Amino acid sequence: MSGVNKNIVILISGSGSNMAAIVETARTQRWQARFGARVAAVLSNKAAAQGLAWAREQGIETAALDHTAYASREAFDAALMVEIDRHDPALVVLAGFMRILTPGFVAHYEGRLVNIHPSLLPAFAGLKTHQRAIEMGCRFAGATVHRVTSELDHGEILAQAVVPVLPGDTPELLAARVLTQEHVIYPRAVERLLGAA
């Protein structure tokens, strides 16, 4: 991450609560002054994503690319890369971006692409993590910030938070408790990456 301006581009598909946590932390922890870092843009594959409206209210540039308008996953990822690269990103942060990315996309941002996953990786990669943890009788669940590689949910672990699985938990109750921890560890992990650059 060279240069004075370390631009962060965040990708979302929904409410963007992790994106908002990162934006708020960037402000309160003075990332611009300390690291020359700022959230330059928030992009989504869904124009109606609630997080886009929130980001616009914060004065952050936004864009939406409808993945259904592209003939292939590769075509969508190529268009997304063009939009991301307009901001010369030091980091590309996946925050509830519900798309499996092509190997070409992952390779293009190698070393700059991070994600948060709602389980204690390497356990429960993929979807329905909370339901699977409850069904397996896990005593603990959690969240993991990791680097993105071409293998789904298998990159270097950057941060984890542990949450107890309580008697009577539903996937929704467990997800809500895990999400509160995601909002803590994701901004911290991004800040550490900025500080190490």
140 within domain boundaries: yes
Q: Provide the mean pLDDT of the chain.
A: 95
Looking up residue 25, the CATH number of its domain turns out to be 3.40.50.170
89 within domain boundaries: yes
Half-sphere exposure for 136 (CA within 13 Å, toward CB): 12
Q: How many domains does the chain have?
A: 1
pLDDT at 89: 97
For strands 140-147 and 157-164, give the pairing: antiparallel
118 within domain boundaries: yes
Band (154; pLDDT cuts 50, 70, 90): confident
Give the closest residue to 194 by CA, choosing from 18, 11, 24, 1: 1
| β-sheet bridge partners, residue 68 | none
171 within domain boundaries: yes
Tell me which residue range forms the domain holding 149: 6-196
pLDDT at 2: 42
Band (151; pLDDT cuts 50, 70, 90): confident
Q: pTM to 2 decimals?
A: 0.95
175 within domain boundaries: yes
Q: Tell me the pLDDT tens digit for each residue of 35-78.
A: 999 999 999 999 999 999 999 999 999 999 999 999 999 999 99
Q: Which two tokens stand for residue 95?
A: 């925050």
50 within domain boundaries: yes
The catalytic residues are 117
101 within domain boundaries: yes
Position 27 pLDDT exceeds 60:
yes
Give the closest residue to 97 by CA, choosing from 85, 88, 84: 84
1 within domain boundaries: no
pLDDT at 76: 97
